[in-house]
């Protein structure tokens, strides 16, 4: 039986969390209900500029949905007279505490969307257990798209050393001599 896209996303996300061992999460919450459809474009626009401001920090990016309290969101339609509403959010996982002011400045240069940022310590084991037991949200259905948007990305991966055959032979000869 082949692996479905949900299982593949879950597997890759868990693998990345285990491999890069983030200690902190920074959440970008929308402040305006009307901006929810523009978050996919913003997600792709802000990744590179934010990553360039912190070139030594590996960032795991995750686009997901959140059940948010409506009293923190502007322009929620009256027909949503509930206390919570499903909205997209962006989550960044990092091994180091990052400068949220720098993130806010970069976001304001590349998009008109307004976000509230919250940074906290990250409980890897609890989060992995949650991801294993719950299916990822259906972003394709939420955004009413023909195909599912890319929800997961890693920027500023550490470079791996060049282990070509020539370098292995050169290193071995240097060690022997």
- Per-residue pLDDT for 163 more than 70? no
Q: How far apart are CA 7 and CA 3, in angstroms?
A: 6
Domain count, the chain: 1
On the CB side of 46, how many CA atoms lie within 13 Å of its CA?
28
Nearest to 68 by CA among 119, 31, 113, 123: 31
**Using CA of residue 18, residue 126, residue 13, residue 64, what is the dihedral sign?**
negative
**Using CA of residue 111, residue 116, residue 120, residue 124, what is the dihedral sign?**
negative
Domain of 20 in residue numbering reads as 5-176
Over residues 18-30, the pLDDT tens digits come to 999 999 999 999 9
Confidence (pLDDT) at 70: 86
Q: What is the reported pTM?
A: 0.85
Over residues 86-118, the pLDDT tens digits come to 999 999 999 999 999 999 999 999 999 999 999
Over residues 23-59, the pLDDT tens digits come to 999 999 999 999 999 999 999 999 999 999 999 999 9
Average pLDDT, the chain: 88
């Amino acid at each position: 039986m082949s692996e479905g896209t949900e299982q593949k996303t879950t597997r890759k996300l868990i693998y990345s969390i285990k491999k890069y061992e983030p200690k902190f999460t920074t959440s970008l919450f929308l402040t305006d209900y009307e901006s929810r459809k523009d978050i996919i474009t913003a997600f792709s626009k802000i990744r590179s500029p934010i990553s360039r401001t912190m070139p030594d920090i590996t960032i795991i990016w995750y686009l997901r949905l959140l059940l948010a309290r409506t009293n923190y969101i502007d322009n929620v339609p009256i027909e949503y007279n509930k206390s919570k509403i499903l909205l997209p959010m962006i989550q960044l996982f990092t091994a180091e505490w990052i400068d949220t002011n720098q993130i806010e400045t970069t976001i304001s240069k590349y998009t008109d969307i307004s976000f509230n940022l919250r940074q906290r310590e990250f409980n890897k084991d609890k989060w992995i257990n949650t991801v294993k037991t719950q299916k990822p949200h259906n972003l394709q259905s939420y955004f009413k798209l023909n195909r599912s948007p890319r929800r997961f990305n890693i920027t500023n991966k550490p470079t791996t050393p060049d282990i070509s055959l020539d370098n292995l032979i050169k290193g071995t000869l240097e060690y022997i001599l």
